[in-house]
């Protein structure tokens, strides 16, 4: 159990935690995948029509590098905790970012 969790509120019981992609990493990966697919299709079409197909191939390779960069970006620890009794969400939000509250389960991310 995380020692900081006991100091925030005594009524939270940590169930599990895992490392997840941050929102910015997901955005980088998503945009890079779309650009990679688009430039790959344009490269195939331009190979038949023009002699400058290598420009689009280079852009597709750069997009593939963006995918690799997004995958290698630092991850954020996501904690799932169960609530045992009344808690103060302000005190929990002072230490963690609350992502979702579902009944007695709280999903939080470390800052």
Task: Tell me the domain boundaries of the chain.
Answer: 1-21+74-111, 23-73
Residue 10 pLDDT class (50, 70, 90 cuts): low
How far is Cα 1 from Cα 102, in angstroms, rounded to an integer? Answer: 21
How far is Cα 55 from Cα 53, in angstroms, rounded to an integer? Answer: 5
Instruction: Write down the pLDDT at residue 29.
Output: 97
* pLDDT mean over 51-58: 90
Residue 90 pLDDT class (50, 70, 90 cuts): confident
Residue 92 pLDDT class (50, 70, 90 cuts): confident
* pLDDT mean over 71-78: 93
How far is Cα 97 from Cα 24, in angstroms, rounded to an integer? Answer: 15
């Amino acid at each position: 159990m995380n020692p900081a969790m006991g100091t925030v509120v005594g009524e939270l019981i940590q169930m599990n935690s895992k490392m997840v992609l941050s929102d910015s990493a997901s955005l980088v990966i998503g945009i890079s995948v779309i650009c990679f697919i688009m430039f790959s299709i344009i490269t195939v079409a331009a190979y038949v029509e023009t002699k400058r197909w290598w420009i689009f191939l280079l852009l597709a390779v750069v997009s593939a590098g963006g995918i690799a960069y997004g995958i290698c970006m630092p991850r954020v620890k996501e904690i799932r905790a169960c609530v045992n009794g009344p808690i103060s969400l302000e005190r929990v939000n002072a230490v963690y970012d609350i992502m979702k509250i579902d009944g007695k389960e709280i999903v939080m991310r470390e800052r």
